[in-house]
Amino acid sequence: MAEVILQGITKIYDSGSPVVNNIDIQVSDKEFVVLVGPSGCGKTTTLRMIAGLEEITAGELLIDGKKVNDIPPKNRDIAMVFQNYALYPHMSVYENMAFGLKLRKYDKDEIKSRVNEAAKILDLESYLDRKPRALSGGQRQRVAVGRAIVRKPKVFLFDEPLSNLDAKLRVQMRTEISKLHKKLNATMIYVIHDQTEAMTMGDRIVVMKDGVVQQIDTPMKLYSNPVNKFVAGFIGSPAMNFIKGNIISNNGVKFISDEKSLNLPVPLILSDKLKTYINKTVYVGIRPESISDSPESFNTNEISKVDVKIDVVEPMGNEVFLYFQIDKEQFICRKTTHDLPIIGEMKSLYFNLSSLHFFDVQTERAI
């Protein structure tokens, strides 16, 4: 396998605006890296440049230490799994998986050995004689993955391969792909728009927005230490709650929202970061699980009670989401107790102050 290095990679189409703008990413040998971001952020274009399907406008792309900007896709020793499977309908599963090897003039015995090995890994041994139309969506996706495996490439590229599957099958397939990475010990780059799937699959995640890399980190570091408001709001489901207000110093450091509906004391461990923001406006972020209807939910004394009117109640089985407003901003509380409040009633909720996040209003960078 091999490492993949993107240095200052830029893609500009005829419109003149960069779709991917001067990004730097280093994927280590045998690492599983996920590119994630909203539609139009440039993640698929980045993957296609790695594959050689899109021309690089500026920057250098290195695979296994070799610059490959001008090397055609077939000579890059990569294999790509597409969103729509791209299987040949008139060919059997065996023929689909063997097709690329036949084009490369591999020996028949070698082809048979590789196909059978991949079929065993993917639990496709009993389907080798079937046509794609006789397979389920998940089985077709495994065939597409198998066609990549038989190539034994240096790098595997996945372009939203699970987006055509139903929710239950997506969960099953993402588990299978994670297991496959460990079995093959392969370098994998995976594009996805669903941040929940990204969190469960990647060794590291590259968060992109408007063609620019926002942050590269492990899933838990992205969740706990987002570098800006965009990453904080994008990673996590339900999303982080945000509200704007002022930092004041009055018997300790406090945050007061613009319409004075929320008044939160800032713990000492966080107040040092805010010394230069006294009497200035900031965004405060707090995740839904850091708000509870029970003060015993948190293993800390740093809590603050807030009385709110419940607008919506969403029972989710093992947890309940409560929706309410503060200063006309919608907030979500994720609670694990099963007593359901009445819509429209006033309820006391508790904010875990040690879990507050602060962001600069101008730059939206984390403070």
Count other C-beta atoms under 10 Å from residue 84's C-beta: 12
Does residue 252 fall inside a structural domain?
yes
- Of 234, 267, 301, the residue at which a domain comes to its end is 234
Q: Would you say residue 337 has pLDDT above 80?
A: no
Q: So what's the pLDDT on residue 43?
A: 96
Same domain, 204 and 125: yes
What is the DSSP pairing of strand 212-217 with strand 204-209? antiparallel
Q: How confident is the model at residue 106 (pLDDT cuts 50, 70, 90)?
A: very high
Does residue 204 fall inside a structural domain?
yes
pLDDT digits (tens, 9 = 90+) for 291-301: 999 888 898 88
> Average pLDDT of 96-102?
94
Q: Would you say residue 307 has pLDDT above 70?
A: yes
Burial class (CB in 10 A: 0-12, 13-18, 19+), 55: exposed
Q: What are phi and psi of 251, to 5 degrees?
A: 55, 50
Residue pointed to by tokens 């001067």: 22
> Average pLDDT of 46-50?
97
For residue 215, the one-letter residue type is Q
For residue 324, the one-letter residue type is F
CATH number, position 31? 3.40.50.300
Q: Would you say residue 338 has pLDDT above 80?
A: no
> Average pLDDT of 321-331?
96
- Of 205, 234, 263, the residue at which a domain comes to its end is 234
Q: How confident is the model at residue 234 (pLDDT cuts 50, 70, 90)?
A: very high
Cα–Cα distance, 92 to 192 (Å, whole number): 29
Q: What percent of the chain has pLDDT over 90?
A: 77
- Of 194, 213, 234, the residue at which a domain comes to its end is 234
H-helix or E-strand containing 254?
strand 253-257
Contact between 198 and 219 under an 8 Å Cβ cutoff? The reply is yes
Q: Would you say residue 65 has pLDDT above 70?
A: yes
Angle between helices 137-149 and 167-184 (to 10 degrees): 20
Does residue 24 fall inside a structural domain?
yes
Same domain, 183 and 258: no
Please state which of the ranges 67-71, 259-263, 307-311, 316-320 shows the lowest mean pLDDT.
316-320
Same domain, 224 and 261: no
Contact between 288 and 238 under an 8 Å Cβ cutoff? The reply is yes
Q: So what's the pLDDT on residue 1?
A: 58
Same domain, 164 and 19: yes
Q: Which residues of 199-238 are buried (b: 16+ CB within 10 A; e: fewer)?
A: bebbebbbbbbbbebbbbbebeebbeebbbbbbbbbbbee
pLDDT digits (tens, 9 = 90+) for 171-200: 888 888 888 898 888 999 999 988 888 999
Q: From residue 88, give the alpha-carbon distance in Å to each of 2, 33, 99, 158, 162.
A: 29, 29, 10, 19, 19
More confident residue, 166 or 204: 204
Same domain, 284 and 161: no
Query: Which residue range is the domain that position 325 belongs to?
Result: 241-360
Domains in the chain, number: 2
CATH number, position 292? 2.40.50.140
Same domain, 144 and 279: no
Q: So what's the pLDDT on residue 300?
A: 87
Same domain, 278 and 134: no
- Please give the DSSP secondary-structure letter assigned to residue 42: S
Cα–Cα distance, 313 to 324 (Å, whole number): 9
Does residue 367 fall inside a structural domain?
no
Does residue 77 fall inside a structural domain?
yes
Does residue 131 fall inside a structural domain?
yes
Same domain, 205 and 251: no
More confident residue, 196 or 107: 107
Q: Would you say residue 31 has pLDDT above 90?
A: yes
Please state which of the ranges 127-136, 167-176, 184-193, 214-223 shows the lowest mean pLDDT.
167-176
Angle between helices 93-103 and 137-149 (to 10 degrees): 20
Q: Would you say residue 59 has pLDDT above 70?
A: yes
Same domain, 245 and 151: no
pLDDT digits (tens, 9 = 90+) for 246-285: 999 988 999 999 999 999 999 998 999 999 999 999 999 9
pLDDT digits (tens, 9 = 90+) for 312-324: 999 988 899 999 9
Does residue 365 fall inside a structural domain?
no
Does residue 291 fall inside a structural domain?
yes
Count other C-beta atoms under 10 Å from residue 309's C-beta: 11
Contact between 88 and 98 under an 8 Å Cβ cutoff? The reply is no
Beta-sheet strand order (sheet of 4-12): 18-27, 4-12, 58-63, 66-67
Tell me what the pLDDT averaged over the chain comes to: 93
Q: How confident is the model at residue 343 (pLDDT cuts 50, 70, 90)?
A: very high
Count other C-beta atoms under 10 Å from residue 89's C-beta: 8
Same domain, 94 and 210: yes
The structure tokens listed for 321 are 């989401």
Please state which of the ranges 156-165, 232-241, 323-332 shows the lowest mean pLDDT.
156-165
Q: Would you say residue 14 has pLDDT above 90?
A: no
Burial class (CB in 10 A: 0-12, 13-18, 19+), 109: exposed
Q: So what's the pLDDT on residue 85?
A: 80
Same domain, 265 and 211: no
Q: So what's the pLDDT on residue 165?
A: 79
Q: So what's the pLDDT on residue 116?
A: 94
Same domain, 99 and 207: yes
> Average pLDDT of 221-242?
96
